[in-house]
Structures are given as C-alpha cells and as structure tokens.
Amino acid sequence: MARTHELLSQDSWKPIELGAIIRSALPLYEAAQQCASEGPVLMVPAEKARPLAMALHELAVNAAKHGAMSRATGRVHVSWTRSEHTSATIDWVESGGPSVGELRPGAGMKIVRGLVEHEIGGQVTCSGSDDGVTWRLVIPLE
C-alpha cells in the first residue's frame, strides 16, 4: 500500500500504470521467484489505484497464508489485458498450492469483492482447483 501511495504522490495523483500497481503488491514474492506478472501498459485512474492495490495486497496475503505461496512449490502468475476500450481484466492464477475445492466466502473474499465491486465499480470472479485458486478482476479504466 505504501508503494502505491508513493507512486501516486510522485506523479501528482495522476493515473498510474497497472503493472506498477500489481508489482507493488508482490515484491517479496517476485524476489523469491514465486510470482510472475505480465501485461501491456494500461493506466489506472488515481482514485481507483488505492482500492485496487488494497485488493491485490489481500490476494497476496491470502496466497501466502493459505494458498499457493504457502508452499515452496507454489506459484502465482498475474496477467492483465485490455478487455474493452474502457476496462482491463486482471487474471491472478495460483498453482502448486493446496487443493482448494469448493470456495467459501471468507473475510478475504469479502474484502476483495468490496474493494473491486463497490469502490472501483468492477467485477470479481473466483474459482478453486486441485492446486490453487484463480481470480479475475475486471476494472474500469475511466
């Protein structure tokens, strides 16, 4: 969160590049080579950057405590694309972690949904698999 705030204040609260927001949530995990991120340059309005950073931080904490990054073999791959002229799709895919099975809405899921759907005006979907969880966040860019 502090890194995102720093990015915002350095740039006079102008839009921030989406990749910078994503990487600000993952520095320790990228250094440990448990995470990878990729996508085109897309700008996020300043007022949406902070809630998005909070949601991504929540995903990273959940992955470290309960998900793929709780195991040495676990990985997180975050990719993003422009999904429409005015929105971006972020795919957060965990693999090599514990079996998830049926997902139950917990505190983390409620936080991510609240931040993305209510504060940003986006959409959230989440599904579990045998070795991880996949999140899709669709966020408006305008």
Query: Tokens for 38?
Result: 């990729």
How many other CB atoms sit within 10 Å of the CB of residue 96?
16
Instruction: Summarize pLDDT for 37-51 with one digit per residue, the tens.
Output: 999 999 999 899 999
**Pair 94, 134: CB distance under 8 Å:** yes
CATH placement of domain 2-140: 3.30.565.10
CA dihedral sign, ordered 47, 37, 102, 83: positive
Per-domain residue ranges for the chain? 2-140
Residue-wise pLDDT for 54-106, tens only, equals 999 999 988 888 888 888 889 999 999 998 778 999 999 999 988 776 666 67
Residue with tokens 């300043």: 46
Per DSSP, the three-state class of 11 is coil
The pTM is what? 0.86
